[in-house]
Structure 1
Amino acid sequence: MRYWLFKSEPSTWGWPDQVAKGDAGEEWDGVRNYQARNFMREMKLGDRGFFYHSQKEKSVVGIVEVCAEAHPDSSTDDLRWECVDIKAVRGFVKPVSLDQIKLDPRLEEMILVKNSRLSVQPVTTDEWQVICALGQTDPA
């Protein structure tokens, strides 16, 4: 299993919206960055990801799971763009802010710290464990 991070503006699509979709999940559509798209192409069923609120909140707030592998993005007719579907697994007991992540030396190489604008990005196993511990949330 691999780990990822999915960023969303909570005013557009927030954690409560994701949770409301239940086990059916929702397309992670609208991504128009080649690197982020390519990461989604690498995802497999069952991979886990952090749900990250961007903009004002800037925090990891939940865990999601890939429930459909890469397929054409239904929000466009342009065949270059693909997406995955994700479903909510559990919310974080305690959200983990970007400031906390940046201050933790164990996370200094994390893509979120080095390239905070990338909307979909990989997370290492060690980063996954650290952030779940900071959020007092079961990593499994």
Structure 2
Amino acid sequence: MKSEPDEASIDDLATRGTLPWTGVRNYQARNFMRDVMRLGDGVLFYHSSCPEPGIAGLAEVSSAPYPDPTQFDPKSDYYDKASKQEAPRWSLVDVKFVRKTPLIALPALREYDALADMVVLRRGNRLSITPVTPAEWRFITEKLMK
């Protein structure tokens, strides 16, 4: 899950313990949260749109999906006037802090053949939420986060 550190960093998550993953306005990313992610799933917390993008820590999905309240708030940057309370367009999950890790920068991730097919490394990928295979998860958490 990608986040801009000035909006929600791994340090913010560590301080608060749990954060709702608000503001996702891409249907494919929303579908990953709504249809694929499950309570207890691991999360690679990735900093993006910053001087050094990369994995900054680990988190865990700590709720089932539920409607993102920012879609109904006209004061929110994520307000969606077409979304209705009775038929919300946008969902979110809560994530809870597991641990901060030394940053694993994007170029470092690209160095490993075991991660060659990782969705977040695909050229042109702009999704804020992408799946990670069990093999990729093991490689990152067991080999790169020792």
| TM-score scaled by length of structure 2 | 0.83
Alignment of 1:75-94 (within 5 A): 75-77=70-72, 78=83, 79-92=88-101, 94=102
1:28 matches 2:21:
yes
- Structure 1 match to 2:13: 18
Aligned residues: 128
Structure 1: 5+ residue runs without aligned partners? 1-5
Distance 1:134 1:59 in 2: 12
Contact 1:39 1:122 (C-alpha < 8 Å) held by counterparts: yes
Q: What whole-Å deviation, never above 9, does each CA across 1:64-121 have from its counterpart, x for those lacking one?
A: 11111110001112210000000011111x2211101112111110001115311011
Task: Look up the SS of the partner of 2:131 in the other structure.
Answer: strand
Distance 2:125 2:108 in 1: 14
Output the amino acid matched with 1:10: P
Larger strand fraction of residues: 1
Structure 2: 5+ residue runs without aligned partners? 73-82
Distance 1:86 1:122 in 2: 15
Distance 2:16 2:20 in 1: 10
Q: CA RMSD in A?
A: 1.1
Task: Select which of 53, 60, 64 maps to 1:58.
Answer: 53
Shift of residue 127, structure 1, vs aligned partner: 0.6
Task: Select which of 131, 134, 139 maps to 2:144.
Answer: 134
Output the amino acid matched with 1:64: A
1:108 matches 2:102:
no
Task: Look up the SS of the partner of 2:130 in the other structure.
Answer: strand
Contact 1:51 1:63 (C-alpha < 8 Å) held by counterparts: yes
Distance 1:106 1:116 in 2: 19
Distance 1:26 1:134 in 2: 25
Q: What whole-Å deviation, never above 9, does each CA across 1:33-64 have from its counterpart, x for those lacking one?
A: 00000000121111111000112221101111
**Matched-pair identity in %:** 41
Task: Look up the SS of the partner of 1:65 in the other structure.
Answer: strand
- Structure 2 match to 1:3: none
Shift of residue 129, structure 1, vs aligned partner: 1.4
Distance 1:95 1:40 in 2: 24
List 4+ stretches of structure 1 deviating above 6 A.
none
Question: Which of these two proteins has the greater Rg computed from alpha carbons?
Answer: 2
Output the amino acid matched with 1:48: G
Distance 1:125 1:64 in 2: 16
